Structure 1
Amino acid sequence: MVNLGDVFPNFKAQSTIGEIELHSFLGDKWGILFSHPADYTPVCTTELGKVAKLAPEFTKRNFKMLAVSCDNVEDHLGWIKDIQAYNCLEGEFPFPIIADEKRELAVKLGMLDPEEKDAAGMPLTARAVFIIGPDKKLKLSILYPATTGRNFDEVLRVIDSLQLTAEKKVATPADWQAGGNCMVLPSIPSAEAKQMFPDHKVHEVPSGKQYLRTTPCPK
């Protein structure tokens, strides 16, 4: 299991574009690594198609994309044709899929779902999402059960928050969307907040504590 703030393990693995060393593959970009229980499975086919359609959005945010599934490269290459056909995709598939036949990565990264098993009785790989920063540290992890497909529009929303809050001293409230009002961090004193966020608003609450402060989204 990798904890938030840990350097993400730098593994080598075979993929649909050849051998990949994670840190070298990412370079100085952000990275998203998402896992799948197996090839030729229905939910995974919809997910990979969705991410392929969103590839320009990830690229715009300076991201490299990488999937992992517990089958071999040959199966991955055949499966990609199904993914493209079902999701009406044309051209080159926009990201590699790692082969994890022995489930070594699934075990190493804590991605197994003990409640769901394959035909051989082995635990399926859960639907993990890992966001890795340019510093190679884990910024976000989300773990869905194998039976539940992910919402990658939500993943993009979270990425927008991560990238904003990495640069600006704000936090994002519930259901925040890019460009929406943000929260001034509680650690910033009032006098400093007035200088940093001249248009911020202090919200009065019954406790009398002035901790709820909203500000227009910093540029």
Structure 2
Amino acid sequence: MPSKRGVLYGVVSYVFFLGVLGYLVLFAAELWVPWTAGSGVSEDLWGDSLFNLFLISLFGVQHSVMARPSFKAWWLKFVPEYLERSHYVMISTLVMLVVMVFWRPIGVILWQFENEVMVSILWAGFALGWLLTVFSTFLTDHFDLFGLRQVYLHYVEKTYTEVGFSEHLFYKLVRHPMMLGMLMGFWLTPFMTLGHLVLATGFSIYILVGIHFEERALLASLGEDYRSYREKTPKLFPKFIK
């Protein structure tokens, strides 16, 4: 009988991710927590900005390299296959935590809206963006994406099967609704500090680069089905047909 430790590790990895994601949202919003993207005074704007971009690049390299099939093939020599995704989630979350812990806040305010209607609209867009990100994970397979399905199937001694490609709801409008949600979450804000701008810019670049490599992998694995889907469906911004 498989050990419960794998299930426990998968759950701990998932809960850890949820906690860090929650802090990232507040870190970007610059609300209710003491340490945010723009919560401090910088004495070296260029140096601190470049250092923060370096931190984001660390996350980008780790997150992308560990997702590559060649890395997975090597990695599986050392870890059980059913824990591969949970390890990926755990390590990615740790690196994201490192980004926020070592971030150099830059509190220079670039813009700040005072109009209550505009402020409400931007906060609503911010919230909708992060909700779209989370909701979109359930349109594929939320529990597979974060490793819980893998550890559960191993525990009950059932064979793991890949989640198939399908077009549900937002995936009929854009190919990457999760990424669209993150872009909304990073950019829609009633006040923008320089630290927040660096955060939003760095992750936006990574999102666009990550989409490029993700689509290459999807084309390789799904072939003509994904090619046809890509031709008819916009990447990030939906087409509103009159």
- TM-score, with structure 1 as normaliser: 0.23
TM normalised by structure 2 equals 0.21
Structure number having the greater helix percentage? 2
Q: Considering fraction of residues, name the structure with more strand.
A: 1
